[in-house]
Amino acid sequence: MMPDVQEFLQIDAPALLAAVLACAACALVGNFLVLRRQGMMGDAVSHAILPGIVGGFLVAGTRETLPMMLGALAAAALAGLLIEAVRRLGRLESGAAMGVVFTVMFAAGVVMIEQASAGGVDLDADCVLYGQLETILWLAPKGWASLADPAVWAALPREVLTLAAVFALCVALVGLFYKELKITTFDPALASTLGIPAGLFHYGVVLLVAATAIAAFEAVGSILVIAMLIAPPAAARLLTDRLAAQILLSVALGVLAALAGYGAAAFGPMLLGASHSLNAAGMIAVASGLILALAVLFGPRHGLLGRRRAVGRLRDTSGFIAPEAQKP
Amino acid sequence: MIDSMFDEALRILTFRSGFNSAVVVAGTAALGLAGGTVGTFLLLRRRALVSDALSHATLPGIAVAFLVGAALGLPERSLPLLLAGAVASGVVGLLTVQALTRFTRLTEDSAIGAVLSVFFGLGVVLLSVIQNLELGGQAGLKTFILGQTAAMAQGEAIAIGLLAAGAALAVALLFKELRVLAFDPGFAAVQGWPVGALDLVLMGLATLVTVIGLQTVGLILVVALLIIPPAAARFWTDRLPALTVAAAVIGALSGWLGATLSALLPKLPAGAVIVLVAGGFFLLSFLFAPARGLVAAALRQGRLRLTFAERRALTDLLDGRPVEGSVALWLRLRGYIRDGALTPAGQTAAQAAARDRRLWERFLADYPALLPAHANWGVDPIDSVLPGDMVRLLEERSAPS
């Protein structure tokens, strides 16, 4: 049983577009988190923006995107400052500093939601955690033929347009500052001696991650944002040693996860004869996890099996194993 | 109305407001206590965020356990089964983090991020399956995500309290072993301590605290119970026994006050309130703790600067250079100068400062490698830092000939 074309274009196409764009943008910037050992920054930021979202919502009184996004951006900046303050002034390790700041901010957001819901406001933590991929609708297209009409494309849902803009911004910034990002990521000391402000790029990366996470969370939820910031770049890191290849590969894997995850969530149960669909954001996260698992197992040089084969080859040719080859 | 609320608060805080709420409040306090004690060692072992992966990874286990219970035809939701599922998938998540860090080139932060989001995503998918199956009792599953003390039955609260007390007791019994593990695992291994097994025990205790905290605080915030109390206690002391006790007290107070507040006021979810109370304790400690708090550090710094400026001004005066501005005012207040000239008391102090400076300079020139790390040279009187025979030696060497 296949859904008809109009239904696909109106319901599934915009959700798929949003998921693909969100995953591509997150995977792109996530590379620098993974390489800078800041993987938990995405986690911290996407939890810490909750009070900002609720605050923006309460101040504006509507579910408009702009005030919520501004609030989220302010909260992300505040979280970054607080984490840095606690880490430096309090001399705590960065993991603990993040843990303190993001849990307290998330808790504040939860309390704000509960208090607001007393006044009959419909906003809950669920939509922040899981997103609302299923509610993104594109009512303009009536069939394949209508896609030729520019007016139909102009009527794309706002979430998709926002995500497209953010993805374009990420691509532009990473392309423009590729050399600087590369040097500051791998050798900040060298970068400083070359006159490249490594500290500035550190904050730049964090800010870009925050902006991407904020744009993406509305459509796909914070859990998927965290998954996409980490899993595709981590998988790509196991498949290649070159930065440019890793970035391209991570974006491709992110898109693959989005397509496979959404397909499995929307059409999988139907194929099995069930009438309901599954949570798409969760399923995309699971798909990215599977991709990472495959990379861990079968990566040609850094995967577990690939390394075992390399060690075996060494043993065959030389009769002994160099000490370095034994270590992972 | 305020009065009656205050009375009510007092009754809950002192466990007199009915047996049930007293049990819930006491159970939550015990949970905070266990979180503080276990978390202390996680913090020192730099494993604080690993427990975040652990807590998020419990969700698929809970969902699977629910499905298994439904398939077996168990009535409603059976808590022990759900928590057993939580333990199982939490441990799988934990082992995945360790395997990813150990056997691949991925760093720990990436491993944690990947595990927590993918496992949580799987849990969300399974929850949507459960939703579609339209089984009874599924509404309770969502409370595991954000927590709810109101959902806690008396028996559950007692069980939580007992298990939490057990976790704290285990830390007390293994104190020496965990201490070696936290500060020098390499040394511990060389000395023949079972480091791997101890690490497992520590992570097992963290799992226990996480799982019994799921219901009260919820799986997103339960990590705060393990991180915030020890992080706050860190500002109060540098000694491990005191640190552990302080973290336990802060954790217990957070649980106790948080559960009371959420029982007292409407629309305050217990988990979030407990975390906010703990955050309040952290802020207080961060600012005002005497050992490492910001205010204390600023005061120490200010006093140091003032002493330094005072001693320099005194030696300047002794050498006949005039001193002006706020330092002069300060010296007048101290009674060291009058009408621009040193008083007898000022003369004594200036001579002592000049001698200190002369001896310190000699010491730094002759024995730069021997400088004690904790000394503020140029400020601390040299007699209180260096041993007497060294001071005599320096005096002989620096005597004007």
**Residue among B304, B314, B326, B318 nearest B377 (CA):** B304
Within 10 Å of residue B135's Cβ, how many Cβ atoms? 15
Q: Helix axis angle, B108-133 relative to B79-103, nearest 10°?
A: 150
Q: For A163-214, how does the pLDDT look when each residue is reduced to its tens digit (9 = 90+)?
A: 999 999 999 999 999 999 999 999 988 998 998 888 888 888 888 998 898 8
Give me the pLDDT at residue A207, please. 87
**Residue among B382, B320, B322, B385 nearest B355 (CA):** B382
What residue ranges do the domains of chain A occupy?
5-326
Chain A residues whose CB is inside 8 A of the B131 CB are 276
Give me the pLDDT at residue A124, please. 62
Q: Does B267 touch chain A (CB under 8 A)?
A: yes
In A, minimum Cα distance to B121 occurs at A282
In angstroms, rounded to a whole number, what is the distance separating the alpha carbons of residues B124 and B126?
Answer: 5
Task: Kindly indicate whether the domain formed by B2-291 is annotated with CATH number 1.10.3470.10.
Answer: yes
Q: Are B37 and B168 in contact (CB under 8 A)?
A: yes
Chain B residues whose CB is inside 8 A of the A99 CB are 48-49, 52, 223-224, 227-228, 231
ipTM associated with this complex? 0.88
Chain A residues whose CB is inside 8 A of the B277 CB are none
pLDDT reading at A320 higher than 60:
no
Of B109, B132, B286, the CB nearest to A40: B109
Give me the pLDDT at residue A322, please. 55
Enumerate the β-bridge partners of residue B342. B337
Percent of chain A with pLDDT over 90: 34
Beta-carbon separation of A114 and B106 below 8 A: no
pLDDT reading at A31 higher than 90:
yes
pLDDT in tens, chain B (401 residues): 556 666 766 666 666 656 667 888 888 899 999 999 999 999 998 888 888 999 999 999 999 998 888 888 776 667 888 889 999 999 999 999 999 998 888 998 999 999 999 999 999 889 888 887 766 666 667 778 777 666 567 777 888 889 888 998 999 999 998 998 888 888 888 988 888 889 889 999 999 999 988 888 888 889 999 999 999 999 999 899 999 999 999 999 999 999 888 888 877 888 899 999 999 999 999 999 988 889 999 999 999 888 888 888 888 888 888 887 888 888 888 888 887 788 888 888 888 888 888 888 888 888 888 887 777 777 788 888 888 888 888 888 887 65
Band the pLDDT of A229: cuts 50, 70, 90: very high
- Is the model more confident about A64 or about A60? A60
pLDDT reading at A291 higher than 80:
yes
Q: Does B121 touch chain A (CB under 8 A)?
A: yes
Give me the pLDDT at residue A2, please. 47
| Stretch among A57-66, A101-110, B363-372 having the lowest mean pLDDT | A57-66
Return all residues near B74 (Cβ < 8 A) that are at least 6 apart.
B81
Give me the pLDDT at residue B234, please. 93
Q: How far does B180 lie from chain A, in Å, by closest CA?
A: 19
Band the pLDDT of A1: cuts 50, 70, 90: very low
Q: Does B269 touch chain A (CB under 8 A)?
A: yes
Beta-carbon separation of B118 and A286 below 8 A: yes
Q: How far does A104 lie from chain B, in Å, by closest CA?
A: 6
- Name the class of domain A5-326: mainly alpha
A interface test, pick of B107, B125, B287 with most A CB neighbours within 10 Å: B125
Give me the pLDDT at residue A169, please. 94
In angstroms, rounded to a whole number, what is the distance separating the alpha carbons of residues B386 and B351?
Answer: 19
Q: Does B228 touch chain A (CB under 8 A)?
A: yes
What residue ranges do the domains of chain B occupy?
2-291, 295-398
Return all residues near B337 (Cβ < 8 A) that are at least 6 apart.
B317, B323, B328, B331, B343, B346
User: What string of H, E and C letters represents the secondary structure of chain B?
Assistant: CHHHHHHHHHHHHCCCCCHHHHHHHHHHHHHHHHHHHHHHHHHHCCCCCHHHHHHHCHHHHHHHHHHHHHHHCCCCCCHHHHHHHHHHHHHHHHHHHHHHHHHCCCCHHHHHHHHHHHHHHHHHHHHHHHHHHCCCCHHHHHHHHHCCCCCCCHHHHHHHHHHHHHHHHHHHHCHHHHHHHHHCHHHHHHCCCCHHHHHHHHHHHHHHHHHHHHHHHCCCCHHHHHHHHHHHHCCCCCCHHHHHHHHHHHHHHHHHHHHHHHHHCCCCCHHHHHHHHHHHHHHHHHHHCCCCCHHHHHHHHHHHHHHHHHHHHHHHHHCCCCCCCHHHHHHHHCCCEECCEECHHHHHHHHHHHHHHHHHHHHHHHCHHHCCCCCCCCCCCHHHCCCHHHHHHHHHHHCCC
In angstroms, rounded to a whole number, what is the distance separating the alpha carbons of residues A40 and B52?
Answer: 10
Give me the pLDDT at residue A321, please. 54
Main-chain phi, psi angles of B341, to 5 degrees: -120, 155
What is this structure's pTM? 0.85
In angstroms, rounded to a whole number, what is the distance separating the alpha carbons of residues A118 and B210?
Answer: 30
A interface test, pick of B92, B116, B124, B294 with most A CB neighbours within 10 Å: B124
